[in-house]
Amino acid sequence: MSLGLYLHIPYCFSKCRYCDFYSHPGERGVPDAYVDALLRELARFAPDAPLRPDTVYFGGGTPSLLSPAQVGRLIRAACPVSGAEVTLEANPETVTEESLWGFREAGVNRISFGVQSARDTQLRTLGRPHTARQARAAFAAARRAGFENISGDIMLALPHYTQAEFDETLELIEEGGATHISAYLLKIEPDSAFGRTPPEGLPTGDEAADFYLYAVEQLEHHGYRQYEISNFAKPGYEGRHNLIYWDCGDYLGLGPAAHSCMGGKRFYYPADTAAFLQDNAAPVMDGGCGAEDYLILQLRLRKGLSLPQYKALYGKEFSPVQLAFIRNCVKNGYAAFDGTTLALTPAGLIVQNSILAELL
């Protein structure tokens, strides 16, 4: 069984207008005291021997505000297995060729750039602190630093969005050498700046769905195979860390607001950095991970849900009513079903929540 380690870095230059992740804006680096606190928790979960995760993921916030030396301390303490995937999320304006070389030397072998759009006007609307030129420079610097596994994020259905904007963004990321692309629909979160003051020119739900289907088609055409609702990869470059989540594997999340699931038990740290630094934020138990979670997560994946595996793991089978609903989904182009595997099509992934509501 694979083990994933997630390290939350809650520091960033500024809060993007769509973001509701737990983070501290206005920072220009990560305090050593925070790295020390992560190391403390790592030792707490693995007191007698190194953790030896199969994947390590630095998420945020803006993990590229860490110094290469800090990243190196954390990777050495975790002691990932040989061949582990070690990912660092990075904002284009925060990296230099020197820092990228340093991250590579520290043990990072996968870099993920938050690009979102190739249009500077749109980036300003989103509250992103980088420019398209900086994004291009970051990709080029990453390649020169020796990164072969590079991911880029695209945000879809933005204010006043067009297919041409998607095409320009895909071109920037593809020419940058990306082997993996995450393409997300903009979601207006209530606790974000956009949630408090929604931007003008947002596409309708039907228009957003059309942008999504266009993105899937174009990404596939450019050699990025869809393997999950929002994730596309060149063959062999699927994100191994996130696949642990979607396959209901074990993962340990360290840091304020970080979530974990170990041995079927879920827990999380309170969203309180001060308490985390002071060793005053014990993880909170959050129930178990069972058949319902497995069904939901497997149907995010294009490979779909294996019914024999579902039965073997949880003793669950679909009822005649559920099977009739599935056949109706197939008839309407929302799913493929061969009697043993149920997989949603891109059209089905758009309405996944409605399909899950019926199946659950």
| Of 285, 179, 198, residue with least CA distance to 239 | 179
Q: Per-residue pLDDT averaged across 27-32, rounded?
A: 94
Distance CA 271, CA 267 (A): 13
pTM: 0.96
Would you tell me how many other CB atoms lie within 10 Å of the CB of residue 202?
Answer: 17
pLDDT at 26 over 90: no
Question: What is the per-residue pLDDT for 1?
Answer: 79
Match 């309405």 to its residue by tokens.
351
pLDDT at 311 over 90: yes
Q: pLDDT by residue (tens digit) across 141-160? A: 999 999 999 999 999 999 99
What percentage of the chain reaches a pLDDT higher than 70? Answer: 100
Facing residues of 306 across strands? 341
Which of the four pLDDT bands, split at 50, 70 and 90, describes residue 309?
very high
pLDDT at 88 over 90: yes
Distance CA 327, CA 6 (A): 38
Q: pLDDT by residue (tens digit) across 234-279? A: 999 999 999 999 999 999 999 999 999 999 999 999 999 999 999 9
Q: What crossing angle do the helices spanning 68-78 and 97-106 adopt, rounded to 10°?
A: 10
Whether residue 18 contacts residue 126, with contact meaning beta carbons closer than 8 Å, is answered with yes
Distance CA 324, CA 320 (A): 6
In the chain the domains, ranked by start, together with CATH numbers, are 3-245 (3.20.20.70), 291-359 (1.10.10.920)
Token pair of 317 as six digits: 């089978």
Distances (CA, A) of 97 to 72, 100, 103, 133, 202: 17, 5, 10, 15, 36
Question: What is the per-residue pLDDT for 27?
Answer: 86
Please, which residues have CB within 8 angstroms of residue 125's CB and are 6 or more apart in sequence?
A: 17, 158, 159, 199
pLDDT at 131 over 90: yes
Q: pLDDT by residue (tens digit) across 190-213? A: 989 999 999 999 999 999 999 999
Which of the four pLDDT bands, split at 50, 70 and 90, describes residue 288?
confident
Distance CA 212, CA 233 (A): 16
Please, which residues have CB within 8 angstroms of residue 297's CB and are 6 or more apart in sequence?
A: 245, 246, 247, 248
Question: What is the per-residue pLDDT for 327?
Answer: 96
Exposed e or buried b per residue across 295-332, where buried means at least 16 C-beta atoms within 10 angstroms of its C-beta: bbbbbbbbebbebeebeeeeeeebeeeeeebbeebbee
Q: Beta strand pairing status for 149-156 and 335-337?
A: unpaired
Which contacts of 215-220 are long-range, i.e. CB under 8 A and separated by 24 or more positions? 215/154, 215/156, 215/166, 215/183, 216/183, 216/346, 218/166, 218/167, 218/170, 219/170, 219/181, 219/183
Question: What is the per-residue pLDDT for 167?
Answer: 98
Which of the four pLDDT bands, split at 50, 70 and 90, describes residue 74?
very high
Least confident of 17-26, 233-242, 332-341, 349-358: 17-26
Whether residue 92 contacts residue 137, with contact meaning beta carbons closer than 8 Å, is answered with yes
Q: pLDDT by residue (tens digit) across 60-70? A: 999 999 999 99
pLDDT at 284 over 90: yes
When the pLDDT of each residue in the chain is averaged and rounded to a whole number, the result is: 96
| DSSP helix, strand, coil percent of the chain (3-state; round to 5) | 40, 20, 40
